[in-house]
């Protein structure tokens, strides 16, 4: 891949954005907390960023959009949503993985069904320690009270292995040798752009907090050039495959395997050097 190719993509890229509202979720029956491997040293830098609330008070939080907390180390602030209201406050860390959240305020919207709101507020108030663990590509943040009992567990996906430039070696059940089929994935921006072998494409990404190794490609748009039949067939197969992707995992030899909801392989991507 050469720099001229990406310059063309950059100038032709069609950016799209969509707003999303945090939805109120309903309380399920109590479920056991998932066991994770705790890292030997959890330092404050591991708190940085947005975390979805996974369990609170031993109850698992489910729903399309769940409560979340965002830790900003540079500001010493938290921002988030407790399932009904926007919350923000201060936090400090210290020795022994100590954590203190203070001065928490929230909006005053009344919600008909907000079972986690009070529990999340109490968990933030009671938090005195934190611990970060990993299971697969998910990171878990435990907030602990003064007795080191877990009061809330937060989770986020670590899908950064998808960042970078890729070319598919397999599309559906067929191998691909068209080197012009390329894409760049940006997890932080939740964007994808590239070339189908015929047209420039771009779209957005979605990571579902309820699914392990989750990744979905949304709102894929392309230019509308006509190409030779083989290139157009490859383009169609690629777009169909992208629409069906639900999960991704690292493969062998610097590859990524993408599967559909049934676990069937729909794409195999090979990492490529952007300067090639």
pLDDT of residue 15: 38
| Residue-range definition of the domain harbouring residue 43 | 37-157
Residue 130 and residue 185 in one domain:
no
Residue 182 and residue 84 in one domain:
no
Residue 15 and residue 59 in one domain:
no
Length of the chain: 276
Residue 112's pLDDT band, with cuts at 50, 70 and 90, is confident
Rounded Cα gap, residues 185 and 208, in angstroms: 17
In a domain, 209, yes or no: yes
- Tell me which of 157, 179, 213 is where a domain ends: 157
pLDDT of residue 35: 46
The two tokens of residue 80 are 């988030």
pLDDT of residue 64: 56
What are the tens digits of pLDDT across the range 140-170? Answer: 999 999 999 999 999 987 788 999 999 999 9
Phi-psi region of 32 (alpha: psi -120 to 50; beta: other; left: phi over 0): beta
Residue 50 and residue 139 in one domain:
yes
Residue 131 and residue 44 in one domain:
yes
CATH code of residue 140: 2.40.128.270
Q: How many CB atoms lie within 10 A of CB 113?
A: 11
What are the tens digits of pLDDT across the range 196-217? Answer: 999 999 999 998 877 788 999 9
- Integer angstrom CA distances of residue 10 from 155, 186, 208, 276: 33, 13, 27, 17
- Integer angstrom CA distances of residue 190 from 83, 88, 186, 202, 276: 23, 24, 6, 11, 24
What number of CA atoms fall less than 13 Å from residue 36's CA on the CB side? 22
Instruction: Say yes or no to pLDDT of 26 above 80.
Output: no
Q: In percent, how much of the chain has pLDDT > 90?
A: 64
Residue 138 and residue 106 in one domain:
yes
pLDDT of residue 209: 74
What are the tens digits of pLDDT across the range 40-81? Answer: 456 888 999 889 999 999 999 865 557 999 999 999 999 999
Q: Give me the number of domains the chain comprises.
A: 2
- Full-model pTM: 0.62
3-state class (DSSP) for residue 98: strand
Residue 151 and residue 186 in one domain:
no
Segment 35-41 mean pLDDT: 48
pLDDT of residue 65: 55
């Amino acid at each position: 891949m050469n720099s001229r190719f990406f310059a063309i993509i950059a100038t032709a890229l069609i950016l799209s954005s969509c707003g999303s509202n945090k939805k109120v979720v309903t309380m399920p029956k109590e479920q056991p907390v998932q066991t994770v491997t705790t890292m030997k040293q959890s330092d404050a830098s591991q708190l940085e960023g947005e975390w979805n609330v996974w369990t609170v008070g031993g109850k698992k939080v489910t729903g399309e959009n769940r409560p979340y907390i965002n830790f900003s180390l540079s500001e010493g602030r938290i921002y988030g949503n407790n399932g009904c209201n926007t919350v923000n406050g201060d936090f400090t860390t210290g020795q022994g993985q100590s954590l203190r959240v203070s001065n928490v305020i929230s909006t005053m919207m009344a919600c008909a069904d907000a079972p986690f709101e009070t529990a999340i507020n109490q968990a933030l108030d009671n938090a005195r320690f934190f611990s970060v663990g990993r299971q697969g590509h998910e990171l878990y943040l435990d907030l602990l009270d003064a007795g080191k009992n877990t009061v809330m567990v937060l989770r986020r996906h670590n899908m950064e292995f998808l960042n970078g430039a890729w070319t598919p070696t397999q599309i559906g059940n067929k191998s691909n040798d068209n080197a012009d089929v390329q894409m760049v994935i940006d997890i932080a921006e939740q964007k994808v752009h590239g070339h189908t072998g015929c047209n420039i494409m771009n779209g957005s990404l979605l990571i579902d907090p309820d699914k392990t190794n989750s990744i979905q490609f949304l709102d894929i748009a392309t230019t509308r050039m006509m190409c030779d039949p083989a290139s157009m067939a490859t383009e169609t197969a690629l777009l169909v495959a992208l629409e069906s992707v639900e999960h991704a995992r690292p493969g062998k030899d610097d590859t990524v395997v993408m599967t559909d909801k049934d676990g069937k392989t729909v794409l195999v991507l090979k990492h490529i050097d952007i300067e090639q």
